[in-house]
């Protein structure tokens, strides 16, 4: 199952993989675990901003359901966009201060107390 979302100028692609086992041997189970596979793109781009991320529950455990994995992947992708990329965009709009054309030399035009 794969879902695509638009969020703050980014495209979030969240896929769900089943039959995930984090142990050294894969064991058959009537209740498989699920992981979310997240990819984040700038809107209109085909190249992701980050490598794909495979996400599970807290502690590295698999999600119990596809819906939980899909929701967890979406929330994580939104958090990444907010925490990492909003700062990039904010930095792009910061105008550096220009130094004043008038430079005061130490003691020039100041009283002895201010120098």
Write down the pLDDT at residue 74: 97
- How many other CB atoms sit within 10 Å of the CB of residue 75? 13
pLDDT digits (tens, 9 = 90+) for 90-108: 555 555 555 555 544 555 5
pLDDT digits (tens, 9 = 90+) for 6-23: 999 999 999 999 965 555
pTM, two decimal places:
0.66
- How many other CB atoms sit within 10 Å of the CB of residue 71? 15
């Amino acid at each position: 199952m794969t879902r695509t979302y638009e969020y703050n100028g980014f495209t979030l692609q969240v896929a769900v993989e089943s039959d995930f086992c984090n142990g050294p041997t894969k064991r058959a189970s009537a209740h498989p675990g699920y992981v979310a596979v997240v990819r984040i793109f700038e809107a209109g781009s085909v190249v992701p901003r980050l490598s794909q991320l495979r996400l599970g529950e807290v502690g590295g455990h698999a999600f119990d359901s596809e819906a939980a994995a899909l929701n967890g992947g979406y929330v994580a992708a939104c958090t990444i966009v907010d925490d990492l990329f909003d700062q990039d965009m904010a930095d792009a709009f910061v105008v550096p201060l220009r130094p004043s054309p008038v430079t005061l030399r130490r003691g020039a035009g100041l009283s002895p107390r201010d120098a």
